[in-house]
Chains A and B, each alone.
Chain A
Amino acid sequence: GNSVTQMEGPVTLSEEAFLTINCTYTATGYPSLFWYVQYPGEGLQLLLKATKADDKGSNKGFEATYRKETTSFHLEKGSVQVSDSAVYFCALSDSDQAGTALIFGKGTTLSVSS
């Protein structure tokens, strides 16, 4: 079946360090891919998305490129801040059919210290 695999956390970085969180997926067809972020005590918020191969999603300095040949959607940021500390979820939507639920990875906790 369809699935998403993320790197295990926690990831601990110093402020201004480079961030990579790996995400790979298994899906039939051509899924849409997402990164969601969950700040402490809150629900998930959409961070960025990509709907087809080679698309690059970007938001708030974060980027991820949809790589069909490696079935990957790695999240990157050039210089993290303390305020980026959160749990990051990679997800896929395996159909363009309206109402299709997302399949989530297990989440990666990021902790940034000053």
Chain B
Amino acid sequence: NAGVTQTPKFRVLKTGQSMTLLCAQDMNHEYMYWYRQDPGMGLRLIHYSVGEGTTAKGEVPDGYNVSRLKKQNFLLGLESAAPSQTSVYFCASSYFEAWGSGANVLTFGAGSRLTVL
């Protein structure tokens, strides 16, 4: 059971270049998320999806786009990379625990380290 898989694990871009990060989950989770992790900032939500074909903005969406064409995949795109987007990106997916427990439990991928020069 692979869980949540992110590709690529590492990438170096030049300012203005574009790229796409791929997240794939094999747990049949309905919900998927993209976070970025920066030193001293914790994790901040970029975009999320509550189902196939749906996306929504999180706390820091500017400069990113996402797509959820298939339930198992959630893509994060950078159209014109900037040095401020140098970060470690984490994808996560979740199900909603059995009715009554009320806890939305996230499973994370191993991360993608992006450097923009």
Binding site for B on A (CB under 8 A): 32, 34, 36, 41-46, 49, 51-52, 89, 93, 96, 98-107
Contact = CB atoms under 8 A, between A and B. Distances in A.
Contacts of B43: 44, 89, 102, 104
Interface of B: 4, 30-31, 33, 35, 40-45, 48, 50-51, 58, 90, 92, 94, 96, 101-111
Nearest to A57: B103
Contacts of A105: 42
A99 B94 contact: yes
16 contacts: A32-B103, A32-B104, A34-B103, A43-B111, A44-B43, A44-B92, A93-B104, A98-B50, A98-B104, A99-B30, A99-B50, A100-B104, A101-B48, A103-B45, A104-B43, A105-B42
A44 B103 contact: no
